[in-house]
């Protein structure tokens, strides 16, 4: 169903191309063509010429905007709405209707996902003439939205996009909902695996390096993602994968913030979070290990239905998790299990020792002994085709050349 106003589409699409779409015919098209561009995007022009297609709310709201790039017809919105609250559901989520507008610029195309605090929608930006993604927060979660905005802007100021972290492009408040705009990525890593099955080892290494570069950036700047999973790794290409991006910082925090005990998706949850201990950026490395296992095996390695079951699932493969007091401080210890390499080999059905040692390093119970992003990037698994590369000073063995290779 075409929900945009044809005459309005004419002025929005013809702003740069100076063309009227073929479906727009008759006097309306001629009238729009003859109107100067600056008048076409003037809210008073829209109000006077398309008043019947505006809801009571929009007839007042539209005058708060300097430029109007897109509006929708009454059938693609809650045409009776008179207040911001009329546009929400009972939980404070914005009612998403394909074809409706966001901020008189973005045309809603489809819902990409829904979380505890927000929708993510695919939109068409009628100013820049290209698709984008917008995260629309629920109302009355100002603290959550402010925290995410603070982290997104902090990372953007430090060039996070160069390190495979999705960067905020714009922000605004629309009808009481904080909105964050991002470049559109085509598919999540999880959906990519669902679509094509397990990945080849060179793909796994390429995506792993790209994710690790993002995790290193975050660790260097004291940011904990707190919800790293394949669903939050976005790919540029839904056929070949392309570049991998870390996304969704809704639960993220700084290491010095007050830490929330309920973080991380259950199947990617680290032992220290399961045991409600203090945590730092190393919880993301545990989640990363789970993602690498998923890319190789097609399933997350530990799949409990509750926190108690998750501890049991981890213990059955890696050894019993116990919390001990050592030198006055709690420490997670591993008791009473066979070799973790053998256990991982049986669980993932592989004999690749370097790969298994890499995962074993990600799955250290003690976060201080767990691989850091920097150590992971220098692991022999990535360098297995280069004899003694870690000790070599040859240029071809540098980390930059390794990254370039994948």
What's the number of CA atoms in the CB half-sphere (13 Å) around residue 334?
18
| Residue given tokens 């850091």 in the structure block | 372
- Angle between helix axes 340-348 and 282-297 (nearest 10 degrees) is 40
Report which of 289, 150, 161 is spatially closest to residue 228, judged by C-alpha positions. Answer: 289
Q: Is the dihedral of CA 358, 362, 365, 370 positive or negative?
A: positive
Angle CA(18)–CA(23)–CA(26) in degrees, nearest 5?
80
What's the number of CA atoms in the CB half-sphere (13 Å) around residue 325?
1
Which helix (H) or strand (E) covers residue 210, if one does? Answer: helix 201-220
Report which of 198, 181, 202, 28 is spatially closest to residue 105, judged by C-alpha positions. Answer: 181
Which helix (H) or strand (E) covers residue 132, if one does? Answer: strand 130-137
Cβ-contact 250, 118 below 8 angstroms: yes
Q: What separation, in Å, do the N-terminal and C-terminal C-alpha atoms of the chain show? A: 43
Cβ-contact 188, 230 below 8 angstroms: yes
**7 alpha-carbon distance from chain centroid:** 36
| Residue given tokens 């005990």 in the structure block | 261
* Helices and strands, number each (H, E), in the chain: 16, 13
What's the number of CA atoms in the CB half-sphere (13 Å) around residue 116?
12
227 assigned to active site: yes
Catalytic choice (227, 248, 284, 360): 227
What phi and psi values does residue 232 have, to the nearest 5 degrees? Answer: -105, 15
Burial annotation 6-32 (CB, 10 A radius, 16+ → b, else e): bbbbbbbbbbeeeebeeebeeeebeeb
The set of catalytic residues is 227
């Amino acid at each position: 169903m075409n929900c945009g106003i044809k005459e309005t589409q004419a002025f929005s699409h013809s702003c740069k191309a100076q063309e009227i779409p073929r479906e727009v015919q008759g006097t309306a098209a001629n009238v729009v063509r003859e109107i100067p561009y600056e008048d076409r995007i003037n809210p008073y022009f829209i109000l006077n010429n398309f008043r019947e297609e505006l809801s009571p709310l929009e007839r007042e709201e539209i005058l708060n905007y300097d430029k109007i790039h897109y509006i929708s017809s009454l059938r693609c919105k809650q045409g009776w709405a008179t207040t911001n609250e009329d546009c929400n559901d009972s939980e404070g989520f914005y009612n998403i209707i394909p074809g409706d507008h966001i901020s008189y610029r973005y045309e809603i195309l489809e819902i990409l996902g829904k979380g505890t605090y927000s929708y993510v929608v695919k939109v068409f930006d009628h100013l820049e003439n290209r698709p984008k993604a917008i995260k629309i927060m629920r109302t009355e979660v100002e603290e959550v939205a402010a925290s995410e905005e603070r982290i997104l802007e902090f990372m953007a100021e430090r060039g996070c996009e160069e390190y495979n972290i999705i960067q905020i492009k714009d922000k605004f408040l629309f009808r009481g909902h904080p909105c964050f705009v991002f470049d559109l990525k085509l598919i999540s890593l999880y959906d990519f695996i669902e679509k094509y099955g397990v990945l080849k080892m060179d793909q796994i290494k390429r995506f792993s390096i790209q994710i690790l570069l993002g995790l290193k950036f975050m660790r260097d700047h004291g940011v904990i993602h707190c919800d790293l999973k394949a669903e939050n790794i976005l790919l540029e290409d839904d056929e070949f994968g392309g570049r991998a991006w870390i996304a969704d910082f809704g639960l993220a925090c700084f290491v010095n913030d007050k830490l929330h005990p309920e973080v991380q998706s259950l199947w990617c949850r680290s032992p220290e979070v399961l045991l409600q201990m203090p945590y730092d950026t190393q919880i993301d490395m545990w989640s990363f290990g789970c993602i690498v296992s998923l890319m190789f095996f097609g399933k997350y390695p530990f799949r409990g239905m509750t926190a108690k079951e998750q501890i049991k699932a981890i213990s059955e493969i890696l050894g019993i998790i116990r919390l001990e007091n050592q030198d006055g401080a709690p420490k997670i210890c591993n008791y009473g299990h066979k070799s973790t390499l053998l256990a991982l080999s049986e669980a993932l059905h592989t004999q690749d020792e370097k790969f298994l040692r890499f995962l074993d390093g990600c799955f250290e119970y003690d976060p201080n002994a767990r691989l850091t992003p920097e150590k992971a990037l220098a692991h022999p698994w990535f360098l297995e085709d280069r004899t003694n590369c870690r000790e070599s000073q040859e240029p071809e063995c540098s980390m930059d050349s390794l990254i370039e290779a994948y």
